[in-house]
Amino acid sequence: MIEESTPAGGRKFDAFFESLQAAPKRVLMLDYDGTLAPFRLEPHKAVPYPGVCEMLDRVLDDGGTRLAIISGRWIRDLIPLLTLKRMPELWGSHGRERLWPDGQYEFAEISPESTLALFRADAWEGWIRLSGGRVERKPGGLAIHWRGLTGARIDQIRDRVLREWGGIESWGGLDLRDFDGGMELVARGCSKATAVDTILAESGPGTVAAYLGDDLTDEDALAALQGRGLGVLVSDAPHRTAADVWLRPPQGVRDFLARWLRTLQGGEMNS
């Protein structure tokens, strides 16, 4: 059973931060929505919780941590929300895109089958909007959002998505997945686990890593990290997860970042 804990105490956190202090390389991987920022009905208003950007700035200023934000959003939609002094490494569209701090951009190609199937799903937008939902297009994906709608409306949209999905599933190349607040069509080949595997492979032996995330799509990343770092579920209540510990947002996240900073500054032993 997952351990409920706070970064200020708890066996797993204590062991983790002890190893972090001695680590030659440190990696901090963070989901965005629901982890660093609250959910909003208007996603372009979902700015980070108070205090979070200041702490991320300090982690980046210190220079002793490879910091990556790993989101399901299109990177171009994520950047305006981050009021940071400098950009960390950003991964978008569930591991399909990467933007390095120096501006270099990488994108994993989408198969022709996935492209055709997504093109067909584009036609769903009209009825989704009429039902009160919202469509979010991103590279290699199409998210259907229903946050804020009544249960009956959500059921109506979900039922129709499943019916329509039956018509394009055979085109291949796409998966239909649930997330907190909707469903998403995602081109196969990339997930948040892609980002975790890539970063850990690049960082090499001796790396001490943590991943913080809240949603079903973060479970790919948390599963990829198992045995290689600390997986942290950010949630108001625990659920089935591959994480090692769970925190309540936003204070638990702030406490985690504060302890990370104290550790970087070598003050962990005195805290």
Instruction: Report the residue closest to Mg ion, judged by CB.
Output: 34
Find the shortest distance in angstroms from Cβ 37 to Mg ion.
9
Considering only residues 189 to 218 of the shown chain, the ones binding Mg ion according to CB under 5 A are 214-215
Contact between 229 and Mg ion by CB under 5 A: the answer reads no
Least separation in angstroms between residue 163's CB and Mg ion is 27
E strand spans, the chain: 3-4, 25-30, 66-70, 89-92, 97-99, 105-107, 134-138, 141-145, 174-179, 182-187, 207-213, 230-234, 245-247
Q: Between 113 and 142, how does the x/- string for binding to Mg ion read (CB under 5 A)?
A: ------------------------------
Rounded least distance, CB 243 to Mg ion, Å: 13
- Which CB sits closer to Mg ion, 7 or 72? 72
DSSP-derived secondary structure for 199-264: HHHHH-TTEEEEEEE-SHHHHHHHHHHTTTSEEEEE-SS--S-S-SEEE-TTHHHHHHHHHHHHHH
Shortest distance (Å) from residue 200 CB to Mg ion: 20
Q: At closest approach, how far in Å is the CB of 90 from Mg ion?
A: 14
CA distance readout (Å), 46 to 49, 59, 80: 9, 22, 10
Classify the phi-psi angles of 266: left when phi > 0, otherwise alpha if psi is within -120 to 50, otherwise beta. Answer: left
For the CB of residue 112, give the shortest distance to Mg ion in the complex, in Å: 30
Q: Which is nearer to Mg ion, 20 or 212 (CB)?
A: 212
Tell me whether residue 209 or residue 222 sits nearer to Mg ion (CB atom). 222
Q: Hey, which residues between 15 and 44 contact Mg ion (CB under 5 A)?
A: 31, 33-34
Question: 164 — phi, psi (to 5°)?
Answer: -65, -35
Query: How many other β-carbons are positioned within 10 Å of the β-carbon of residue 100?
Result: 12
Question: Segment 165-184, which members bind Mg ion (CB under 5 A)?
Answer: none
Binding site for Mg ion (CB under 5 A): 31, 33-34, 214-215
